[in-house]
Structures are given as structure tokens and as C-alpha cells.
């Protein structure tokens, strides 16, 4: 049995609540979340750490050191507070045990570089990703022929843009040059220009929208509507990583995505003006 340790800013959030069952099912019972640690109790009215551990029957560790010692592999959660990842990752990324860091990896490019440097210096295998990277519909797209992308999704830019930025960067396979925003009361649109001259747009509706893409490629145009169970595919990839230690997402691409998100947040403050990366 591979024992998974959860490290979170606070437990009782969607990922912590659902990952245990998903990981156990995807691994055919070969893996289980065996330990959990949280820095604080839920600040948004959820369960305390003790209550959460009692509900999910997962032993609570009082320190990160204790959790690392007892666990075989580690998940650093805090999906809605990426500003906490650098602090929460300090010890796990020195452990040499496989570590998955939940989305969104870092609040900016420089923080992303610092976090990965910890892992690289210690030889700890790690990665971070949006689950949308593994959507079957996006995986079927041939990046070699992509000329332009229009991407749709929902939610706020700070929390949920990762679910569009990740597939965009995965498929464009080029460094971004600059980004510009336009926005309304409950929507925003980003235009991303890449160094090779190609362009992608990101449209985000605050009240929700399906994950979709209009793909212009040298083979023609297509509309891609994500309907597959991308979260199941993401969990299957995570189980594979915990078994093999083989990192499925290049660190360099994650850093580029965090840089683009950082500049996108800046672009929201000056609509209609290009922000250089």
C-alpha cells in the first residue's frame, strides 16, 4: 500500500474532500490518503482540521515533518491559495519523495522558479498542472498544426484561468510575448500574442461557461467541447506519477504558464494595453 500524505493550507475544500476516494479508486486500492496536515482550520466556515480528519478517517499529523516521515508520496493542496505554496513546499520538495503540487502552482514567475529550484537541488520529483491538460478532447489535438486558438471557460481569472492557460500553452508550444485584456461586469477576454506571431484568445465568464476551444489549424477549423471526464484522466496520471516518479509536465512550461497568468492579472488593471512578458 502506497501511503499518500496531504499537506494543505486548510482542509475541507473540494480537492481535499474528493481526492482520497478518487485516488483509491484509480489505483485499484493500491494507494490511500493515510495522513493529513493543515496549517490552519478553515477560515470560510468549514470543518476544523480535527473534524475533517475524523470525518474522512485520515490520521492528522501535527507537523509537516511528521507527515513527510510517515508518507510514501505527498500532495500539497491549497488549490485556492497559491500564495501559500512556497511555504508549504519547503520541506516536501526536499524529501526526495514524489510530490504533486495542486493548481495554481504559484502567484508569479519568480515564485514558481524558486519552488522548482528547491526540488531540483534535492532531486525531488514533482509537478503541477490543471486537470484540463488531460481532457481527452485536448489530447487529440495535434499541436504541430495549430495556428490560432479561441478558448472558453468560467469563473474568476485568478482562481480558474489556469484551466484555460494550461491547455493553451500545451497546444501552442511557444513562449508568450505579450497579453492584453478587455473586460465587462461579468466577463473578460484576453488576447495572447506568442513570440512566433501566432495568437490565442481566452474568454472567461464569471457565472460559468463550458470548457471549449475553436482551433484553427493547417488541417482546418474545429470546435472542441470538453465533455470527457478530465478529472478522472488527471487522477489516473497522478497515480502513474506516484508509481513511477516520472514527471508528466515540464517544469519550464509550468513556469511559462505562471508568468502568463501573472501578466494577465496585471493586464486586467489596464484594459486595451499590451503587457509584455
Give backbone dihedrals phi and psi of 177, rounded to 5 degrees, phi first: -100, -45
Q: What is the pTM of this model?
A: 0.96
Q: How far is CA 128 from the centre of its chain?
A: 5
> How much is the pLDDT for 193?
98
Per-residue pLDDT of the chain (277 residues; tens, 9 = 90+): 999 999 999 999 999 999 999 999 999 999 999 999 999 999 998 899 999 999 999 999 999 999 999 999 999 999 999 999 999 999 999 999 999 999 999 999 999 999 999 999 999 999 999 999 999 999 999 999 999 999 999 999 999 999 999 999 999 999 999 999 999 999 999 999 999 999 999 999 999 999 999 999 998 999 999 999 999 999 999 999 999 999 999 999 999 999 999 999 999 999 999 999 9
> How much is the pLDDT for 45?
83
How far apart are the C-alpha atoms of 62 and 180, rounded to whole Å?
A: 45
Could you give the C-alpha distances from 108 to 29, 53, 188, 265, in angstroms and in order? Answer: 37, 32, 20, 10
> How much is the pLDDT for 219?
86
How far apart are the C-alpha atoms of 11 and 14, rounded to whole Å?
A: 9
Other Cβ atoms less than 10 A from the Cβ of 186: the count is: 9
The three-class DSSP label of residue 181 is strand
Cα radius of gyration (the chain): 19
Residues contacting residue 69 through CB under 8 Å, at least 6 positions apart = none
Do 211 and 168 contact (CB within 8 A), yes or no?
A: no
| Domains with residue ranges and CATH for the chain | 2-128 (3.40.50.720), 131-228+261-276 (3.30.360.10)
Do 215 and 221 contact (CB within 8 A), yes or no?
A: yes
The three-class DSSP label of residue 12 is coil
> How much is the pLDDT for 46?
86
Amino acid at each position: 500500500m502506497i501511503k499518500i500524505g496531504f499537506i494543505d493550507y486548510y482542509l475541507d475544500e473540494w480537492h481535499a474532500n474528493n481526492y482520497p476516494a478518487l485516488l483509491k479508486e484509480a489505483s485499484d486500492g493500491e494507494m490511500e490518503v493515510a495522513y493529513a496536515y493543515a496549517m490552519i482550520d478553515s477560515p470560510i466556515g468549514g470543518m476544523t482540521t480535527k473534524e475533517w480528519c475524523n470525518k474522512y478517517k485520515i490520521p492528522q499529523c501535527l507537523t509537516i515533518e511528521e507527515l513527510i516521515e510517515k508518507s510514501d508520496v505527498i500532495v500539497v493542496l491549497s488549490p485556492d491559495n497559491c500564495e501559500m505554496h512556497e511555504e508549504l513546499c519547503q520541506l516536501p520538495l526536499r524529501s526526495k519523495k514524489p510530490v504533486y503540487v495542486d493548481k495554481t502552482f504559484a502567484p508569479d514567475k519568480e515564485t514558481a522558479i524558486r519552488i522548482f529550484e528547491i526540488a531540483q537541488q534535492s532531486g525531488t520529483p514533482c509537478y503541477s498542472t490543471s486537470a484540463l491538460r488531460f481532457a481527452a478532447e485536448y489530447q487529440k489535438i495535434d499541436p504541430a498544426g495549430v495556428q490560432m486558438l479561441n478558448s472558453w471557460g468560467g469563473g474568476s481569472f485568478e482562481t480558474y484561468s489556469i484551466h484555460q492557460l494550461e491547455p493553451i500553452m500545451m497546444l501552442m508550444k511557444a513562449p508568450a510575448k505579450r497579453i492584453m485584456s478587455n473586460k465587462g461586469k461579468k466577463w473578460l477576454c484576453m488576447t495572447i500574442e506568442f513570440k512566433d506571431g501566432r495568437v490565442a484568445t481566452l474568454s472567461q465568464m464569471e457565472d460559468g461557461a463550458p470548457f471549449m476551444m475553436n482551433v484553427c489549424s493547417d488541417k482546418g477549423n474545429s470546435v472542441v467541447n470538453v465533455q470527457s471526464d478530465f478529472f478522472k484522466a488527471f487522477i489516473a496520471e497522478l497515480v502513474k506519477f506516484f508509481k513511477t516518479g516520472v514527471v508528466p509536465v515540464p517544469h519550464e512550461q509550468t513556469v511559462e504558464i505562471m508568468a502568463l497568468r501573472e501578466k494577465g492579472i496585471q493586464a486586467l488593471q489596464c484594459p486595451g494595453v499590451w503587457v509584455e512578458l
